């Protein structure tokens, strides 16, 4: 099956071809072909991405060519580039990712910016809770940009936490970020309060057709959907936030582009004040925040 896929997806390529022809004959778009070929050049020849231009007449050795064919085939079959490369850039850091975690999305950087703005207004030693941390994207980018903040990051998935801990070690942030396993606030070992609660939790409804399309087919369903209306996880996190926030503390939550009104309504019902909506770079309502009363 894998072999057949390789034959079908790379019909115009041979090991003797120079890099520029591998790109132009590839079944993928030129930009995706360049990303994968840059990875091969780095791994097999320790060459930078610029070698795609400066050495475009070079051809790959047998081993590198076979790996190139395999990467192209995986992408042709739909596997996300981030899983193929095993990494993804997010905010100011690079994260290791794999099939056990959601691939961090650029729109989630909005949540990080909101939390960093809040931290800048607070006493320097702020305490932050990241619920459903996945690869650690939100917690680790906050920790990296705000060295005096301390963070607790939780997830239900042991596989996600293993990847998040690996990323924490690689980024040398073990002193700042601590991980706990369990469902939302139940993961906390003691009654604790925070300056900020932040979360990008599953918010896709279980019947949404996007779950069976594109990159989402390869990501863990438990990271994407609440297996219900899409609002189930948001309801729990918002309803219990008051108990875990310091007076005046902020909760900021990512949601679907059509869930803004519902999420802001949940915040008001939970007694939170100063409820606000934020637009992402695509101009879609993507985050809501509220505060515990002083």
Ligand X SMILES: C[S@@+](CC[C@H](N)C(=O)[O-])C[C@H]1O[C@@H](n2cnc3c(N)ncnc32)[C@H](O)[C@@H]1O
Which residues lie near ligand X (CB under 6 A)?
102, 104, 108, 132-135, 137-138, 154-157, 160, 183-184, 200-202, 222-223
CB nearer to ligand X: pick between 97 and 119: 97
CB nearer to ligand X: pick between 137 and 171: 137
Task: Check if the beta carbon of residue 167 is closer than 8 Å to that of residue 225.
Answer: no
CB of 137 to ligand X, least distance (A): 4
CB of 258 to ligand X, least distance (A): 17
Q: What are phi and psi of 55, to 5 degrees?
A: -120, 35
**Alpha-carbon span 161 to 187, nearest angstrom:** 12
CB of 222 to ligand X, least distance (A): 5
Count Cα neighbours of 118 within 13 Å in the Cβ-side half-sphere. Answer: 24
**Alpha-carbon span 196 to 266, nearest angstrom:** 18
CB of 276 to ligand X, least distance (A): 20
CB of 108 to ligand X, least distance (A): 4
CB nearer to ligand X: pick between 157 and 168: 157
Task: Check if the beta carbon of residue 251 is closer than 8 Å to that of residue 196.
Answer: yes
Q: Which two tokens stand for residue 207?
A: 């019947």
DSSP secondary structure string for all residues of 170-196:
HTT-TTTEEEEESSGGGG-SS---EEE
CB nearer to ligand X: pick between 19 and 237: 237
**Cβ burial 16-25 (10 Å sphere, 16+ → b, else e):** ebebebbbee
What is the torsion angle, in degrees rounded to the nearest 10, for the CA atoms of residue 216, residue 218, residue 223 and residue 224? 20
CB nearer to ligand X: pick between 52 and 216: 216
CB nearer to ligand X: pick between 104 and 290: 104
**Alpha carbon 76 to its chain's center:** 22
CB nearer to ligand X: pick between 170 and 183: 183
CB of 156 to ligand X, least distance (A): 4
Task: Give CA angle at 138 (132, 140), nearest 5°.
Answer: 115
CB of 130 to ligand X, least distance (A): 7
Task: Check if the beta carbon of residue 97 is closer than 8 Å to that of residue 88.
Answer: yes
CB of 264 to ligand X, least distance (A): 20
Q: Which two tokens stand for residue 148?
A: 């005096």
CB nearer to ligand X: pick between 52 and 241: 241
């Amino acid at each position: 099956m894998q072999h057949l896929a390789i034959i079908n997806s790379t019909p115009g390529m041979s090991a003797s071809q120079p890099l520029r022809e591998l790109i132009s004959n590839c079944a993928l778009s030129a930009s995706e072909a360049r990303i994968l070929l840059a990875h091969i050049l780095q791994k097999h020849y320790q060459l930078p991405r610029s070698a795609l231009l400066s050495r475009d007449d070079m051809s790959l050795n047998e081993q590198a060519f076979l790996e190139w064919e395999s990467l192209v085939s995986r992408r042709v079959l739909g596997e996300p580039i981030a899983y193929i490369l095993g990494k993804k850039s997010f905010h100011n850091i690079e994260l290791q990712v794999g099939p056990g975690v959601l691939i961090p999305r650029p729109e989630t950087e909005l949540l990080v910016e909101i939390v960093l703005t809040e931290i800048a207004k607070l006493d320097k030693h702020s305490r932050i809770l990241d619920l459903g941390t996945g690869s650690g994207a939100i917690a680790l980018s906050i920790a990296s940009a705000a060295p005096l903040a301390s963070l607790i990051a939780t997830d239900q998935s042991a596989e996600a936490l293993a990847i998040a801990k690996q990323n924490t070690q690689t980024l040398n942030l073990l002193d700042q970020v601590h991980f706990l396993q369990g469902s939302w606030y139940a993961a906390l070992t003691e009654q604790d309060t925070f300056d900020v609660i932040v979360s990008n939790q599953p918010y896709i409804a279980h019947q949404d057709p996007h779950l069976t399309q594109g990159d989402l087919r390869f990501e863990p369903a438990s990271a994407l959907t609440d297996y219900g209306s899409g609002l189930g996880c948001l309801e729990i996190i918002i309803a219990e936030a008051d108990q875990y926030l310091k007076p005046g503390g902020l909760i900021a939550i990512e949601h679907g582009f059509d869930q803004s009104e519902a999420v802001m309504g949940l915040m008001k019902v939970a007694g939170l004040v100063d409820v606000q909506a934020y637009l992402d770079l695509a101009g879609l309502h993507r985050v809501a925040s509220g505060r515990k009363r002083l």
